[in-house]
């Protein structure tokens, strides 16, 4: 038997003993023996050399009927967080006080396991624009923003009954709700359990209206768990009219022994702001007469819902205006257009569609500039995106186990799409 500890009774020893009543007297004649019921017997319990175990020294036995009566008694064992990894011994002895009889005791030996503390931490934090007029990666007045953060359990024990809430009391900042799928809920986030090393990413949506007059937003974030001892409080501030940037990282958790390691699986967490959406390169390109229509489609017939389609469309619009020189009023963005019959894969860690990510990555990193002439043509970008060793076809199979092969059509493949400054 192995005993794990806690601050409430978590296990009972069940000692089944039969107490045979003692003879009250011998008959004066003959050899017959009469008996009477045994009452007020006591069970004496003593722990031996075991810290962190609390149990009563004695428990009164219920009346035991004569002629073979028996009773079952349960002994509650309460443990504390100081319980070590050890072997515990408990002696059990039954005493019948009327006849001063002590029944031969029993010794129970069992293993105990030390309490493994959870440790909740806020490990990632970012603020992103949800709906914005100019989509400039900054917080402006009268726009909706998403506050995203990741909570990870860095302890060696599971965190249970986890509650996470966020508070902003500044004038002009309105909480719209916790984002769950396509719905908003005005409530704290709650998780029944977060295993060691695992994380949860949350998004709370706010509206910043014209009454807001400060230079930065302040968010107070609190996470609690069952014991009210291993949670966290964090204060995060975000400057207004400053380029938004994520902070923090998912951490690896060290464990004491191989048994613990075998129980823990740590997955890659999605980036709160993808690399292609940070420090977007700016060029001197000018296409004042060019017009672009960007469609963000979330629903497709031949695949599951692509939840990052809107991210794709917003990022594409930023690249058209910042990198390719399109006038902002010449870029038209349509969200959730009618359903098509095409197939699309996605890149969960980057929170983008797979094709869109590599398309913009080729521009952002200049990786598509194959001949290093500070220009990227349509042909070069196609080669970069369709690279079977490190492009869309490879990652589509690696991440989603489906085949996706980009295609290109047209005659102007040598047309310069992006020209970088010298």
CA nearest 121: which of 5, 252, 7? 252
3-state secondary structure of 381: helix
Provide the 3-class DSSP secondary structure of residue 383: helix
Question: What is the pLDDT, as a whole number, of residue 302?
Answer: 55
pLDDT of residue 132: 55
Instruction: Report whether CATH 2.60.40.10 matches the domain 120-262.
Output: yes
pLDDT in tens, 253-296: 444 444 444 444 455 556 667 777 777 888 888 888 888 877 77
DSSP string, 207-224: EE-TT--SSEEEEEEEEE
Tokens (6 digits) for 304:
């599951």
pTM to 2 decimals? 0.59
Dist CA 232 CA 265 (whole Å) = 23
Predicted local distance difference test score (pLDDT) of residue 34: 33
For residue 74, the model assigns a pLDDT of 76
* Phi, psi at 317, each rounded to 5°: -65, -40
Structure tokens at 272: 């709160």
Q: Count CB neighbours of 202 within 10 A.
A: 20
In 313-399, DSSP assigns E strands to: 331-335, 346-347, 352-353, 375-377
Contact 166, 219 (CB under 8 A): yes
Kindly report the CA angle at 187 between 186 and 193, in degrees rounded to 5? 145
In tens, the pLDDT along 212-238 reads: 989 889 999 999 999 999 999 999 988
pLDDT of residue 343: 58
* C-alpha to C-alpha distance for 285 and 251, rounded to whole angstroms: 41
Give me the pLDDT at residue 9, please. 32
Question: What residue ranges of the chain have pLDDT lower than 50?
Answer: 1-39, 250, 253-265, 338-342
Return the pLDDT at 308: 74
Closest CA to 306 of 360, 351, 362, 359: 351
Q: How far apart are CA 356 and CA 385, in angstroms?
A: 9
Q: List, by residue range, all CATH 2.60.40.10 domains of the chain.
A: 2-113, 120-262
Q: Please count the CA atoms within 13 angstroms of the CA of 132 that sit on its side-chain side.
A: 21
Say what the pLDDT of residue 300 is. 57
Q: For the residues of 55-92, what is the DSSP string, one character each? A: --SEEEPPPB-TTT--EEEEEEEEE-TT--SEEEEEEE
> Parallel, antiparallel, or unpaired for β 331-335 and 292-296?
parallel
Predicted local confidence at residue 72, as pLDDT: 77
Hey, what are 302's tokens? 């031949």
Cα angle 309, 314, 315; round to 5: 95
Compute the chain's Rg from CA coordinates: 34
User: Which tokens sit at 255?
Assistant: 């464990």
Domain 2-113 belongs in CATH node 2.60.40.10:
yes
pLDDT of residue 53: 79
- In 3D space, the residue among 55, 56, 37, 48 whose CA is nearest the CA of residue 96 turns out to be 37
């Amino acid at each position: 038997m192995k005993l794990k500890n806690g601050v409430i009774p978590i296990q009972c020893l069940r000692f089944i003993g039969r107490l045979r009543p003692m003879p009250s007297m011998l008959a004066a004649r003959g050899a017959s023996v009469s008996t009477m019921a045994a009452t007020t017997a006591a069970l004496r319990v003593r722990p031996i050399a075991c810290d962190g175990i609390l149990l009563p020294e004695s428990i009164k036995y219920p009346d035991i009927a004569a002629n073979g009566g028996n009773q079952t008694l349960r002994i509650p064992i309460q443990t504390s967080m100081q319980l070590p990894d050890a072997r515990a011994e408990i002696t059990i002895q039954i005493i019948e006080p009327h006849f001063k009889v002590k029944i031969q005791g029993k010794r129970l030996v069992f293993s105990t396991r030390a309490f493994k503390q959870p440790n909740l931490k806020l490990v990632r934090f970012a603020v992103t624009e949800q709906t914005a007029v100019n989509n400039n990666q900054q917080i402006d007045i009268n726009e909706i923003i998403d506050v995203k953060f990741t909570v990870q359990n860095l302890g060696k024990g599971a965190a249970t009954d986890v509650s996470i809430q966020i508070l902003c009391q500044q004038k002009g900042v309105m909480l719209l709700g916790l984002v769950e799928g396509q719905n908003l809920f005005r409530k704290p986030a709650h998780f029944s359990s977060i295993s060691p090393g695992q994380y949860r990413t949350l998004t709370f949506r706010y509206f910043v209206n014209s009454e807001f007059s400060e230079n930065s937003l302040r968010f107070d974030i609190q996470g609690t768990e069952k014991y009210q001892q291993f949670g966290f409080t964090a204060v995060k501030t975000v400057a207004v009219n400053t380029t938004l940037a994520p902070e923090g990282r998912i951490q690896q958790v060290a464990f004491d022994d191989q048994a613990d390691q075998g129980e823990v699986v740590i997955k890659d967490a999605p980036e709160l702001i993808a690399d292609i959406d940070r420090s977007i390169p700016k060029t001197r390109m000018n296409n004042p007469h060019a017009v672009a229509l960007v469609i963000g489609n979330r629903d497709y017939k031949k695949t599951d819902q692509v939840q990052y389609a809107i991210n794709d469309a917003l990022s594409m619009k930023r690249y058209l205006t910042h990198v390719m020189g399109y006038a902002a009023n010449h870029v038209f963005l349509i969200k959730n257009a009618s359903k098509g019959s095409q197939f699309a894969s996605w890149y969960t860690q980057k929170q983008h569609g797979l094709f869109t990510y590599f398309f913009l990555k080729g521009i952002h990193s200049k990786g598509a500039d194959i001949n290093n002439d500070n220009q990227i043509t349509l042909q070069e970008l196609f080669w970069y995106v369709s690279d079977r060793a490190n492009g869309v076809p490879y990652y589509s199979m690696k991440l989603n186990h489906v085949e996706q092969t980009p295609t290109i059509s047209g005659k102007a493949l040598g047309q310069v799409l992006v020209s970088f400054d010298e």
